[in-house]
């Protein structure tokens, strides 16, 4: 029972097919004889982390309940070189042609996120920091994109606004200060939720820890500043978790990891990953 | 009556909000007093083409039917410099905070596509070629992304598989050749549809034109090859439309335009545009 | 993969069943023992073209996933005489009784359209004209009705307002003339769409062809007038398609075909076809 | 609070618009300037009973929440002569054009049913018989069609299989006879439901009345046979209601009414009414 | 074909699962290894009437299409003693854990209603009165709750406002009296519906019977008053059905039955039945 | 922006109305003249905590967008005596009659939960313990029922399986022990979630605290056992939260509170609260 078997994901995929197919694939219907069978091969046209095999399966199974599923030559999450045929799929030729674009659109995007995530995960290898994603996902695709992040070896931050308390500058201002915001949140949210607070400087950090924040997000600090804040925070409460955030990229991320934070959130994992180049070549059989 | 007023778009946006909010924005609900009003400012943190103002409006209006709408200081499609505050929105502070992320996720993505589209459109300025998008869009967001392409000054190719006949290599192989594929399509599709055929070389191009193709897509040609094929095609039928396709980027696109094609399709407009950096700063009022 | 396997069609049929069954078939539930099996026979009570076998199948399969499907003694589209039993279906007696009305309502209506379409197709046999339907379909049933038209041997015009450009008198008036309307449409719609224009007289026809119309609809002309317009149009552009339209019936349609038009659109195929008389007699087995 | 304000009806109409408009009215969008206002006039091109004014209103209000609604010159249900302009509607020209076909498709069909119903109602005027409809309605449109029947002056039979007990030949056979079927139904259905039984002859009629049927449907009798059965039935139970059914038309219906039945069910009211000819002429204002 | 196979019921259950599972069962997913199989046993922790076996089956089948279904050791509707294991279910351990709460929530509530209904049915045993439920059901669960009522041995009153005419004090006041209300209802509702009227005293009862009420509901009478009204009513019309209503409980219900009414409606069957205590113990296998 | 304005809640209420109204309120439609206005008064027929005013408002606003809303004479959450008229509502008489049952069904149930919750809250007044609810809610109504719990003065536990980690006996067994279960959960769930573990005895409690549990649920202990476990747990980790659970009732709950636990979860708040007796009397105005 994984999230892909979830009814919502399947109904989303059916909607994606409807978006692309509309009233029918008039090219295929008017040129391809019914009943002809074919086989398609998934080819990586650049180095990439394979992601979305089950999702692509679902695309074709919605079109043809008898679809046998992709015969995968690698595992979800494997890094493959350019030129690798990583899977094949048999089926009615018209089904393969009609489903191709949606399957590829999903897989190319998910593989793009997984590939980028892997690079970030590798960049901090050997440190104690974990890379986490953000809520800067494509509207409608959050579950798929957060899954791709984990396939690439990173972790997930909140899945939504109901999935954790993260008090930011605006909340602090409106609540009347960090202490008030934290105590109000502690009073009102369920006992299973921790409290995270975003801070900009040492004064805020100290107030947050004193007020009982479980996690503190150091926003837009240099690695050097972050290192100092980490040291001072740990001095106050060795159990507090520390997260660095703000404009991370592959060049800078390791220096934050080495500053001693526990978590580094990276928006570009999902908002700006490039689609990987994957093709699906069909032959009749 | 534009597409944004379409019920489907609004219900999609409501779904995006549900995806992010889930059972409720527990941070805002537990820290921000009810009834406090605020104003948020949309700030471009890099040079970008503004796109998605009405979509962002819709986000907030779904949360609060009395939302006054964004007070925009520029027009949809305007290019603004980094540092420009291009709009503001008043409302209940909790509404602004809860809707912020979805509004930005949409606007940053749409502005990313519009900005990249504008660059492509400028790259072919002065030629007869038009840049068109592809079906390589984010599943679920096709209407919004194709709209962003036009805001950036490019044109739309097919909206879906029912929206035009585009006979590709697989169709040709399965139909038993270009001539058979074209005549079968002409027989079966409605009289309002033109027929486009993808070809790889001169022999195929000639066969396509002889069989009555209205448009021919020159796939994966060099600019020089494309120029030759264009010349020979025009010699056979001056009315045939010619489209170049395959791995276009900002460096190469103009040489294809100068090769004389009518259309150049660019997948990366939608599958790999980077999100623009836009922030939404809220103040109480 | 035909349109009946489309998820939307199945969900529409499920809705039709819900409309008829509501909270339950209280007559059958209170009089027919559970588990009794029966067999129903589809009987044509007048001469008709059989249409809707797969649709009727779907009705019963929604009620009972194990339904074996109709055992059809004829093919979809066959003309059968009054008194012909053209298919039978086994199943639980309660399923047969509960699904009967919806299955017949669909099949009688579809067979009515197919039967009438066949008469129109026969009426123009031997000419170059094809009969096409219109958008004057029953709201909600367009896909089924347009399918029935093809089963009867006619062709489909546009499936919807997004499926082709057809510029009518109102568009012309609002655009500021035929030439302006055509050039505006050419500028704005995708390159895969042809342009059809509705005209009332020779002056309009000439302007439309000069402005580059691909198809011209001759509205409300006598056959004689149509013949003249066809001749003059062909003189200007031998490739232009010509369509006759307006109040066609079985008595007049052939004279339009003989006037030389390519297409004749007939609204009554879908808006006024009479339901065929079909009964479904059930016996226990 | 009438049925047209029901959320389901509005959502059905929105679906009809989606069926017709798809991704957009490309003709209107590419030829008609935005913001131009117009006025359309509803013209009866034959004598008809006007039906569907509120439904047509709803069509345009879904497209434009500010639509003022039809300015009707007659009442719903009025008989108007050919040539009558019976209503007008102002609005944005593009809205009027885009909504026209769905509004007319609904109104022409509903007016067709209302007009035919009125003829049947007039045919039995002065007798004690009421004309009732059947479940032979267009799938998806039952509420609208049954409403149109009442606008034409007839009555509604069951709205669905849950809305009344009507024991037919198949139920009788499967239950093991009329007496068993009636007693089983009386035992199992709620105390607010009457029991109607379909019979073919005097023996069945007698058994039905003895078993406590509240209503008896005389199926496929001649008027003379019906008159005899009515007399004998009334002799047994003066309160039993009697319904005639089977192949009624405008020529024969009065003779059944004069045979003394209380109800006459007429399937063709809904399954074979012809669409009325109504046009919608738009002018700019 | 029973109501549980109805698509609406299944989609409701899927919604209940979505309500509980949200984005995923994070406890099970993070602690239970995938692929481990288990068996759960349903244990009655107090004496109860078992109700909801098929519904619980459906819960697990939605999570795992291969779920074998509950192996039930008793029949739906059986009374079991405290301590009885009445069924078991094999499956993936994670599926059993994730579905447990929704299955129990439904079954405990349905068994609660069935158990209470059985007590009421037993309380009037030997009299001519039947216990019926009301429309005081849990919003969204009416079909399941009314089913549970019958499993406990009672009968169903109306399923909704469209399922029968029940004229209450407010209707009478607004219609201008009992006689007017009844005659208006007789005129307007379909011929298959009986008319029930709620009355408070003998004057109203007499008027209702004279006006042709089929059923009369005696509201808020003592058993003695009810007995008198029954006698007088039967004197006027021996066929009229009489229903007692208002604040019934297990102590008082038999005295109403003995007063001679045909029906006694009991709101607490559905609005205040206590959930039965049922546990589901899982073991690995 | 509270949860009642949430689109899902409104669409649920619309579904509840559809469940009750079906094809129409035939009694009201056939007896009550259109356009008559009335006023209804909400009367508490027993002492109760008022809950659901906004929900009842929503019911009537769905039926009539112009409904003015309830004029409430008390605040949500107020305790009112038997006989109190706590609100009134004006509107069309037919709207008031048709919406009455759904509004009352919701309000009676919510007030029942709020009233019972208040009793539990009062029972532990003066101690440090808070009463929390469980996931034993009515399927489909969780949001409304958990809201009613807070109106009565108690707190909410998890809203669903995704809303917190609660490791129970089955998870422990399948994970291979408490320590493994906790460390696996810490590894896999997001950093914003605390970990709660259910234990049965001191050995388990000690293991849970040593493994880093944030909250420990003491299941099915006597108050005396609970007091001992609390003391020992606090000795190990003064910050651990302790929750008592299992068969709580109004007689026993205070002794658990006095045992020193932080939280006491009470299933009966939602699974077995009795509906409060509320009537809605309508008068014409």
Q: Does the active-site annotation cover C136? A: yes
**pLDDT tens, residue by residue, B62-106:** 999 999 999 999 999 999 999 999 999 999 999 999 999 999 999
The conformation of residue F170, written as its DSSP 8-state character, comes to: H
Partner D contacted by B159 (CB < 8 A): yes
CA distances from C13 to A71, B240, C92 (A): 35, 44, 20
Which helix (DSSP H) or strand (DSSP E) does residue A18 occupy? helix A7-21
Q: Residue C92 is nearest to which of E1, E3, E8, comparing CB atoms?
A: E1
How close, in Å, is residue A2 to chain E by CA atoms? 9
Partner A contacted by E18 (CB < 8 A): yes
What per-residue confidence (pLDDT) applies to B283? Answer: 87
The answer to whether residues A195 and A178 touch, using CB atoms and an 8 Å cutoff, is no
Partner E contacted by D188 (CB < 8 A): no
Catalytic residue among A41, A136, A142, A158: A136
The answer to whether residues A209 and A233 touch, using CB atoms and an 8 Å cutoff, is yes
What residues 69-108 of chain F have any CB closer than 8 A to a CB of chain A?
none
Beta strand segments in F105-204, E: 130-132, 165-167, 195-199
Q: What percent of chain F has pLDDT over 70?
A: 98
What per-residue confidence (pLDDT) applies to B5? Answer: 66
What per-residue confidence (pLDDT) applies to D7? Answer: 73
Q: Residue C165 is nearest to which of D26, D93, D138, comparing CB atoms?
A: D26
Hey, are the CB atoms on C193 and B193 less than 8 Å from each other? yes
**Is pLDDT of B1 > 60?**
no
What per-residue confidence (pLDDT) applies to C247? Answer: 84
CA distances from A142 to A5, A152, B20, B136 (A): 16, 15, 8, 19
What per-residue confidence (pLDDT) applies to D5? Answer: 65
**Is pLDDT of E2 > 70?**
no
Report the distance separating Cα A56 and Cα B56, nearest Å: 31
Which helix (DSSP H) or strand (DSSP E) does residue D175 occupy? helix D169-175
Partner E contacted by D182 (CB < 8 A): no
Catalytic residue among A12, A20, A78, A101: A101
Partner C contacted by F23 (CB < 8 A): yes
Partner D contacted by E166 (CB < 8 A): yes
Burial of C53 (0-12, 13-18, 19+ CB in 10 A): buried
The answer to whether residues F268 and F117 touch, using CB atoms and an 8 Å cutoff, is no
How close, in Å, is residue F114 to chain D by CA atoms? 31
Which pLDDT band holds residue C8 (cuts at 50, 70, 90)?
confident
Strands F37-44 and B48-49, sheet pairing: unpaired
In 3D space, the residue among B171, B170, B168 whose CA is nearest the CA of residue A282 turns out to be B170
Question: Which residue in this structure is represented by tokens 């619980």?
Answer: E56
What per-residue confidence (pLDDT) applies to A192? Answer: 97
Residue B268: Cβ within 10 Å count: 19
What per-residue confidence (pLDDT) applies to E12? Answer: 94
Q: Does the active-site annotation cover D234? A: no
**Is pLDDT of D285 > 80?**
no
Burial E248-275 (b: 16+ CB within 10 A, else e): beeebbbebbbbbbbbbbbbbbbbbbbb
The answer to whether residues B154 and B122 touch, using CB atoms and an 8 Å cutoff, is no
The CA-based angle D132-D133-D137, given to 5 degrees, is: 175
Chain B residue numbers with beta carbons less than 8 Å from the beta carbon of D24 are 3
C92: Cβ contacts below 8 Å, ≥ 6 apart:
C34, C35, C36, C37, C38, C64, E1
Q: Look up residue E69 and give its two tokens.
A: 């279904």
**Is pLDDT of C37 > 80?**
yes
Overall average pLDDT of the F63-88 stretch? 97
**Is pLDDT of E36 > 80?**
yes
Mean of pLDDT over chain E: 95
Report the distance separating Cα E153 and Cα E151, nearest Å: 5
Chain E residue numbers with beta carbons less than 8 Å from the beta carbon of B22 are 22-23
Which pLDDT band holds residue C284 (cuts at 50, 70, 90)?
confident
Torsion angle defined by CA atoms of residues D24, D25, D30 and D34, in that order, rounded to the nearest 10 degrees: -90
**DSSP for chain E, written as a single string:** --GGGSHHHHHHHHHHHHHHHTT--HHHHHHSPTT-EEEEEEEESS-EE---HHHHHHHHHHH-TT----EESS-TT-EE-TT-EEEEEEEEHHHHHHHHHHHHHHHHHHHHHHHHHHHHHHHTTTSS-EEE--S-PPTT-HHHHHHHHHHTT-B---SSTTS-EEE-HHHHHHHTSHHHHHHHHHHHS-TTB-EEEEESSHHHHHHHHHTT-SEEEEES--HHHHHHHHHHHHHH-TT-EEEEESS--TTTHHHHHHTT-SEEE-THHHHSPPPP-EEEEEEE-
Neighbours of chain A (3+ CB pairs under 8 A): B, C, D, E, F
Question: Which residue in this structure is represented by tokens 């035909």?
Answer: C2
**Is pLDDT of F5 > 70?**
no
**pLDDT tens, residue by residue, C234-259:** 999 999 999 999 989 999 999 999 99
Report the distance separating Cα D29 and Cα D144, nearest Å: 31
Residue B199: Cβ within 10 Å count: 25
Q: Does the active-site annotation cover C155? A: no
**Is pLDDT of F43 > 70?**
yes
Torsion angle defined by CA atoms of residues F135, F136, F140 and F146, in that order, rounded to the nearest 10 degrees: -60
Q: What percent of chain C has pLDDT over 70?
A: 98
**CA dihedral over A235, A237, A239, A242, signed as positive or negative:** negative
Mean of pLDDT over chain F: 95
What per-residue confidence (pLDDT) applies to A275? Answer: 96
Which pLDDT band holds residue F2 (cuts at 50, 70, 90)?
low
What residues 31-50 of chain C have any CB closer than 8 A to a CB of chain F?
none
For B155, the 3-state DSSP assignment is strand
Q: Residue C108 is nearest to which of D25, D30, D271, comparing CB atoms?
A: D271
For A106, the 3-state DSSP assignment is helix
Mean of pLDDT over chain B: 95
Per-residue pLDDT of chain A (285 residues; tens, 9 = 90+): 566 666 788 899 999 999 999 999 999 999 999 999 999 999 999 999 999 999 999 999 999 999 999 999 999 999 999 999 999 999 999 999 999 999 999 999 999 999 999 999 999 999 999 999 999 999 999 999 999 999 999 999 999 999 999 999 999 999 999 999 999 999 999 999 999 999 999 999 999 999 999 999 999 999 999 999 999 999 999 999 999 999 899 999 999 999 999 999 999 999 999 999 999 999 887
How close, in Å, is residue E142 to chain C by CA atoms? 11
For A105, the 3-state DSSP assignment is helix
Strands E37-44 and E85-92, sheet pairing: antiparallel
Helix pair C142-151, C7-21: axis angle to 10 deg? 110
Catalytic residue among B20, B76, B101, B234: B101
Which of residues E86 and E285 earns the better pLDDT score? Answer: E86
The answer to whether residues A165 and A195 touch, using CB atoms and an 8 Å cutoff, is yes
Report the distance separating Cα B81 and Cα B205, nearest Å: 45
The answer to whether residues C215 and C196 touch, using CB atoms and an 8 Å cutoff, is yes
Q: What percent of chain B has pLDDT over 90?
A: 94
What per-residue confidence (pLDDT) applies to F131? Answer: 98
Residue C78: Cβ within 10 Å count: 16
Q: What ipTM was estimated for this complex?
A: 0.95
For D172, the 3-state DSSP assignment is helix
What per-residue confidence (pLDDT) applies to F1? Answer: 57
**pLDDT tens, residue by residue, D17-47:** 999 999 999 999 999 999 999 999 999 999 9
**Is pLDDT of C9 > 90?**
no
Report the distance separating Cα A39 and Cα A61, nearest Å: 15
For D21, the 3-state DSSP assignment is helix
What per-residue confidence (pLDDT) applies to F204? Answer: 97
Hey, are the CB atoms on F24 and D7 less than 8 Å from each other? no
Q: Look up residue C220 and give its two tokens.
A: 């409300």
Chain C residue numbers with beta carbons less than 8 Å from the beta carbon of B237 are none
Partner A contacted by D23 (CB < 8 A): yes
**pLDDT tens, residue by residue, F129-183:** 999 999 999 999 999 999 999 999 999 999 999 999 999 999 999 999 999 999 9
How close, in Å, is residue E193 to chain C by CA atoms? 14
Q: Look up residue C29 and give its two tokens.
A: 């539930």
CA distances from E260 to B100, C264, E124, E225 (A): 67, 74, 11, 11
Which helix (DSSP H) or strand (DSSP E) does residue A218 occupy? strand A215-219
**pLDDT tens, residue by residue, F187-219:** 999 999 999 999 999 999 999 999 999 999 999
Report the distance separating Cα E215 and Cα E207, nearest Å: 12
Hey, are the CB atoms on D18 and B8 less than 8 Å from each other? yes
**Is pLDDT of E266 > 90?**
yes
Which of residues F283 and C40 earns the better pLDDT score? Answer: C40
Give the residue on B whose Cα is nearest the Cα of A25.
B161
What per-residue confidence (pLDDT) applies to F280? Answer: 95
Neighbours of chain C (3+ CB pairs under 8 A): A, B, D, E, F
How close, in Å, is residue C283 to chain E by CA atoms? 18
In 3D space, the residue among C103, C36, C29, C92 whose CA is nearest the CA of residue E3 turns out to be C29
Mean of pLDDT over chain C: 95
How close, in Å, is residue E124 to chain B by CA atoms? 46
Strands E263-265 and F48-49, sheet pairing: unpaired
Chain A residue numbers with beta carbons less than 8 Å from the beta carbon of E95 are 1
Overall average pLDDT of the E111-127 stretch? 98
Q: Does the active-site annotation cover D198? A: yes
Chain C residue numbers with beta carbons less than 8 Å from the beta carbon of E163 are 23
**Is pLDDT of C104 > 80?**
yes
What per-residue confidence (pLDDT) applies to A283? Answer: 87
């Amino acid at each position: 029972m994984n999230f892909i078997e979830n009814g919502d994901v399947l109904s989303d995929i059916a909607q994606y097919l409807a978006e692309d197919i509309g009233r029918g694939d008039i090219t295929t219907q008017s040129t391809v004889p019914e009943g002809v069978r074919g086989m398609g091969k998934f080819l990586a046209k650049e180095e990439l982390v394979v992601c979305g095999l089950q999702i692509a399966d679902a695309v074709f199974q919605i079109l043809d309940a008898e679809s046998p599923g992709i015969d995968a030559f690698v595992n979800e999450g494997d890094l493959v070189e350019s030129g690798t045929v990583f899977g094949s799929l048999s089926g009615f030729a018209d089904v393969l042609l009609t489903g191709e674009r949606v399957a590829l659109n999903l897989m190319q995007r998910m593989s793009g996120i997984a590939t980028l995530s892997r690079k970030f995960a590798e960049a901090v290898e050997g440190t104690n920091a974990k890379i986490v994603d953000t809520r800067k996902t494509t509207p409608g695709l959050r579950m798929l994109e957060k899954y791709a992040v984990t396939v690439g070896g990173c972790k997930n931050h909140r899945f939504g606004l109901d999935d954790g308390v993260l008090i930011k500058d605006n909340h602090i201002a409106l609540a009347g200060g960090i202490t008030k915001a934290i105590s109000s949140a502690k009073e009102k949210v369920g006992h299973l939720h921790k409290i995270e607070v975003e801070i900009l400087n040492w004064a805020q950090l100290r107030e947050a820890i004193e007020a009982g924040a479980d996690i503190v997000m150091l926003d837009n600090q240099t690695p050097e500043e972050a290192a100092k804040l980490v040291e001072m925070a740990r001095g106050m409460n060795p159990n507090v978790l520390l997260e660095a955030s703000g404009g991370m990229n592959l060049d800078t991320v390791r220096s934050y990891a080495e500053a001693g934070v526990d978590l580094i959130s990276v928006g570009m994992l999902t908002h700006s990953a490039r689609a990987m180049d994957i093709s699906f070549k069909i032959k009749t059989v």
